Amino acid sequence: MIQDIAPLQLNNAYRNKIPSEDSYILAFQENRIFLKAGEEITYLSYGEFKAACRKEQKELPECIYLFSIDTEDYFLADFWENCEISGFGWHKMFAVRTMRPREKVFTAATAWHLYGWYRDNRFCGRCGEKLIHSREMRMLQCPCCKNQVFPKIAPAVIVGVTDGEKILMTKYANREYKRYALIAGFTEIGETAEETVKREVEEEVGLHVKNIRYYKSQPWGFDSNLLLGYFCELEEHEAIHLDENELSLAEWVDYRDIPDDSEGLSLTREMMFFFREEQNKKQKNIDSQNN
């Protein structure tokens, strides 16, 4: 999955640091990120960034420390729109998903999540004063009313609804993502993740489920989410009633027909393949007992 970057390690504890020449600078505009695309993603070093600022006679913008991956530090900065640095350019965040290597895709998604939070929290939501970054932690504080603003992460569930050898697969309506997905939705205030599972399945396909089991979680910075994966079983056989605002398709797919198009990034796909492998093992056991 996107976060599986071992032996590399993400260190996301906030530190009050300034960039060095070989630190990396990440910049975003609307839904785009500044990078050099090729065989592999290249990010701009602080040294290159400083040289570009000098050449364009631009003042060096403020750089906010994001995180490090092993010994490489990453910082966030504001670039000017027509920033020209040989080979680098603005790329849609959606396109980054299919780029390589995985740790650089994870870097982009995590930085994008932080960028969105900083962009949307310049002023205090309580009194309107400009917020100031804490020196000790990732927190913005209001100097006037002392309001503390912490990073915003939206928990959401991914649900593998199964019925014997079949799993319920869906396709989203009106989204850029066109491949098979699983039922998914945000946790509402006041409910447990397990209750979200039940509610989302009922809302999206009109089915009732039981035996809800936690699988794994995944940080998904593209949408500011923490995804919680669950499997559950169909309680009784009922017809699917599709919520057409959310989904364009929901159908039962036999484990043998799960399409083999793993991008190795998402929890959704890992759950589909996990189900397929589990069913394969079961089938092999049955076959060996019959022989």
Nearer to Zn ion, 51 or 132 (CB): 132
Q: How many CB atoms lie within 10 A of CB 264?
A: 12
Nearer to Zn ion, 36 or 133 (CB): 133
Is 145 a residue that touches Zn ion (CB under 5 A)? yes
Query: Any alpha helices (H) in 77-134, and if so which ranges?
Result: 93-96, 102-119
E strand map for the chain: 10-11, 24-26, 28-29, 32-35, 44-45, 64-69, 72-76, 89-92, 132-133, 140-141, 148-149, 154-163, 166-172, 183-186, 209-220, 225-234, 247-254
Which span sits near Zn ion by CB under 5 A: 46-54, 126-134, 216-224, 242-250?
Answer: 126-134
Is 51 a residue that touches Zn ion (CB under 5 A)? no
Is 127 a residue that touches Zn ion (CB under 5 A)? yes
Is 124 a residue that touches Zn ion (CB under 5 A)? yes
Omega before residue 151 within 30° of 0, cis: no
CB 19 within 8 A of CB 28: no
Is 121 a residue that touches Zn ion (CB under 5 A)? no
Which span sits near Zn ion by CB under 5 A: 135-143, 150-158, 162-170, 215-223?
Answer: 135-143
Is 144 a residue that touches Zn ion (CB under 5 A)? yes
Q: How many CB atoms lie within 10 A of CB 273?
A: 14
Token pair for 110: 């995590």
Instruction: Output the CA–CA distances (angstroms, integers) from residue 163 to 200, 228, 249, 251, in the order listed.
Output: 17, 20, 18, 12
Count of residues engaged in binding Zn ion, rule: CB under 5 A:
8
Which span sits near Zn ion by CB under 5 A: 99-107, 127-135, 182-190, 241-249?
Answer: 127-135
Rg (CA), the chain: 22
Q: Among 129, 194, 233, 251, indicate the residue that binds Zn ion (CB under 5 A).
A: 129
Is 42 a residue that touches Zn ion (CB under 5 A)? no
Least distance CB 261 / Zn ion (angstroms): 48
Nearer to Zn ion, 127 or 154 (CB): 127
Is 147 a residue that touches Zn ion (CB under 5 A)? yes
Amino acid 47 reads G
Nearer to Zn ion, 132 or 154 (CB): 132
Residues that bind Zn ion (CB under 5 A): 124, 126-127, 129, 142, 144-145, 147
